[in-house]
Structure 1
């Protein structure tokens, strides 16, 4: 099976774009991806949802617990 975006010659990435809660920076799960535009990625997630977690997510949870 071939990717429809590849077959159509569209600029895209097969990786997932991860948006970090602390600092708002992004990174991609695909090695070598250098264009972190949201439009190039079909999946965009918060770092909180990354398997194994992220230090940003831990900070966010502590702040939420402190606020309640």
Structure 2
């Protein structure tokens, strides 16, 4: 049994990568090499940088600021 992406089969514009939203101003990037359209609607998976494996420097900075504020 061969699995096929429903979006690919339907000819819909989409990306198989994960869209990463950074907490330092909403900067976004995609895990898929060559993805240039970072629209949320093209990505089935969207996470914020706190969830990136290995961490993210802007997430660490935001966490420090939150700790200082509390």
Q: Indicate the TM-score class for this superposition, using the shorter chain for normalisation.
A: over 0.9
- TM-score, length basis structure 1: 0.97
Which stretches of structure 1, 4 residues or more, deviate above 3 A after TM superposition?
Answer: none
User: Could you tell me which residue of structure 1 aligns to residue 4 of structure 2?
Assistant: 2
After superposition, residues 1-68 of structure 1 pair within 5 angstroms as 1-68=3-70
Unpaired runs of 5+ residues, structure 1, are none
Deviations along 1:26-62, whole A, 9 cap, x unmatched? 0000000000000000011101110000001000110
How far 1:15 sits from its partner (Å)?
A: 0.2
RMSD, aligned α-carbons: 0.5
Work out the number of aligned pairs and report it: 68
- TM-score, length basis structure 2: 0.94
How far 1:23 sits from its partner (Å)?
A: 2.4
Unpaired runs of 5+ residues, structure 2, are none
